[in-house]
Amino acid sequence: MTSMQTRATILVGASILGGESRDLAIDGGLLVDPATVDRDRADVLDASGLIALPGLVDLHTHLRQPGGEQAETVATGVRAAAAGGYTCVFAMANTSPVADTPAVVEQVHRLGLDAGLATVRPIGAVTVGLAGERLADLGMLAGSAARVRVFSDDGHCVADAELMRRALEHAASLDAVIAQHAQDPALTRGAVMHESPLAAELGLTGWPSVAEASIVARDAMLAEATGARLHVCHVSTVETVEVVRAAKARGIRITAEVTPHHLLLTEELVRSYDGRFKVNPPLRAERDVRALREALADGTIDIVATDHAPHAPEAKQTAFADAAFGMVGLETALGAVQQSMVETGLLDWAGVARVMSTAPAAIGREPGYDAPLEIGSPAHVVLVDAAARTTIDASHLKGRSANSPFLGVELPGSVRHVWHAGRRTVVDGEVQA
């Protein structure tokens, strides 16, 4: 037995959710009342000047295993997660083989348990092979050891309205959610960047905003008709924000996510033709970025999810049209949110905890995150130095791939310490083995 498992830890003087400073105590994997801990027998950490947040939860992570191990594995992906302050990640289903059988989701679940640095919750495919032709066995995935509660064909849209309707009906009976990658395939053939005057100038095929908003509008009506829960992945346009807002006003059970890169970056970066800036949905215009920030602040968009999408260098160092879609994001998400939402005054740290921990855990039905930093909760804790500023380079990326849009960019904030269920996963900024 290591001392870590037997000794309590007291975090002295952290600013709780960016508010008042008080002590936190961790013992036996739980947060406990500091007054009940014998300080002579506890490890004491000076947390003054640091902000305490609950462990972050990412509802949208690509861990690539099985099948894409040259870009990421569960073990390397959770290192990236821990480095970014995450204690739970939901692993997308677009692996090879696809996560459409209990065998695959249980494998990913087990690899997560082995890696240990964060909880890995597999997402199940909506359709067999993500082919959009027939429903996967959602009930068997939900009933597996991996307890799947989120289903998504992410990377592909469930474009067939009949399939989407049946998927929603089935998910409702399982208390599960369908997370839709909203992209009308007919409107986006060959599309590689935002459809705009800039796309015309660059000679790149455009991805029109309406291809996202129109699917979300349809799905919202299907969710209303079925009473099911719908989650919209990576909202990227002002038009989609307006559709989600109207759907919520109607009482439809709809939630939505935005990525850190869509909160901070615009299509202007594509001018370089650098494949690092190719992502799906694409980086949009300034007006979209503004609308996404406001929507996250006012609750129209519920959560931030990274869409962490690792790719090997050869998939990116090619012509823009040929490059793979996706960006890594776990390590830089909190900094990007601090810059776009906190430093702009749109969100306080309690709000950050809501959109990056409490709310995504609730959508994914991951227990233990509903009472952040409160006594009795599992000890998922992050200590952040919000005053730090870091110019991101490859050494800050702890996963296997370095396809970050933030290389060379200065971001605020630094994750100093992380506890996952009481286990230290990051110490002084270093991910533990």
Partner 1 sequence: MKHLLTAAMPREEAVALLDLAEDMHQIQEREVKKLPALRGRTVVNLFFEDSTRTRSSFEIAGKWLSADVINVSGKGSSASKGESLRDTGLTIAAMGVDGVVVRSGASGAPALLADWIGRPVVNAGDGTHEHPTQALLDAFALRRRIHGEASRGKALDGVRVAIVGDIAHSRVARSNALLLPALGAEVTLVGPPSLLPPAASDGTRLGVRAETSLDAVIAEQPDALMLLRVQLERQAGKVTPSPAEYITGWSLTDERLARLPGTRIMHPGPMNRGLELSSRAADSDASTVLEQVTAGVSVRMAVLYALLASDQGGSR
Residues 6+ apart with CB under 8 A from 33: 25, 375
User: Shortest gap between Cβ of 241 and partner 1 (angstroms)?
Assistant: 19
Residues 6+ apart with CB under 8 A from 293: 263, 340, 341, 344, 346
Residue (274 or 385) nearer to partner 1, CB:
274
The DSSP element (H or E) to which 418 belongs, if any, is strand 410-420
- Per CB under 8 A, the list member of 46, 268, 322, 343 interacting with partner 1 is 322
Task: Say whether residue 317 binds partner 1 (CB under 8 A).
Answer: yes
User: Shortest gap between Cβ of 290 and partner 1 (angstroms)?
Assistant: 15
Bond prior to 281 in cis (omega within 30° of 0): yes
x-marked contacts with partner 1 along 182-201 as a string, rule CB under 8 A: -------------xxx-xxx
Tokens 């082995």 label which residue?
114
Residue (273 or 377) nearer to partner 1, CB:
273
The DSSP element (H or E) to which 246 belongs, if any, is helix 238-249
Is 88 within 8 Å of 370 (Cβ atoms)?
no
CB neighbours of residue 315 within 10 Å: 20
- Per CB under 8 A, the list member of 106, 273, 297, 429 interacting with partner 1 is 273
Interacting positions 205-264 with partner 1 (CB under 8 A)? 205-206
Q: Look at residues 360, 204, 353, 187 and name the one whose alpha carbon lies nearest to residue 283.
A: 204
Q: What are the residues facing 32 on neighbouring strands?
A: 25
User: Shortest gap between Cβ of 202 and partner 1 (angstroms)?
Assistant: 6
User: Shortest gap between Cβ of 314 and partner 1 (angstroms)?
Assistant: 6
CA 32 – CA 19 distance, rounded (Å): 19
Exactly one of 154, 219, 288, 307 is catalytic; which is it? Answer: 307
Residue (321 or 362) nearer to partner 1, CB:
321
Interacting positions 353-412 with partner 1 (CB under 8 A)? none
Segment lying near partner 1 (by CB under 8 A), choices 125-133, 251-259, 289-297, 315-323:
315-323
Task: Say whether residue 268 binds partner 1 (CB under 8 A).
Answer: no
- Per CB under 8 A, the list member of 128, 172, 221, 321 interacting with partner 1 is 321
307 labelled catalytic:
yes
**Beta strand residue intervals within 103-191, DSSP E:** 119-122, 150-151, 177-180
User: Shortest gap between Cβ of 275 and partner 1 (angstroms)?
Assistant: 9
* Rg, the chain, Cα only: 21
- Contact set with partner 1 (CB under 8 A): 195-197, 199-206, 272-274, 314, 317-322
Give catalytic residues, as residue numbers: 307
